[in-house]
A and B are shown apart, each in its own frame.
Chain A
Amino acid sequence: MKARIHITLKAGVLDPQGKAIEHALTGLGFAGVSDVRQGKYLEIDLKETDPVRAKTQLDDMCKKLLANTVIENYSIEVAP
Chain B
Amino acid sequence: MKSAVIVFPGTNREQDAATALEAASGEKTIMVWHRDTEIPAVDLIVVPGGFSYGDYLRAGAMAAHSPILKTVVERARKGTPVLGICNGFQILTETGLLPGVLMRNAGLKFVCRNVHMKVETAQSLFTAGYEAGQVISVPVAHNDGNYFADETTLDRLEGNGQVAFRYVAPSGACEPESNPNGSARAIAGVFNETKTVLGLMPHPENAIDPLHGGIDGRPLFTGLVEALS
Contacts and interface: CB of A to CB of B under 8 A. Distances in A.
A12 to B, nearest CB: 8
Interface in B42-70: 57-58, 61, 65
Contacts of A65: 57, 61, 65
Contacts, number: 31
B104 A70 contact: no
Contact of B182 (A14, A17, A71): A14
B116 to A, nearest CB: 23
Give the interface residue-count category, chain B. 10 to 19
Given A16-B106, A17-B108, A70 B182 contact: no
B119 interface: no
Given A16-B106, A16-B182, A65-B57, A70 B100 contact: yes
Interface string B94-137: 10000011011111100000000000000000000000000000
Interface string B166-190: 0000000000000000100000000
Interface residues of A, number: 11
B106 A68 contact: no
A3 B182 CA distance: 35
Contacts of A17: 104, 108
Given A13-B148, A14-B182, A68 B94 contact: yes
A16 B148 contact: no
A69 to B, nearest CB: 10
A71 B58 CA distance: 12
A71 B148 CA distance: 8
Contact of A20 (B58, B61, B101, B108): B108
Nearest to B100: A70
Contacts of A13: 103, 148
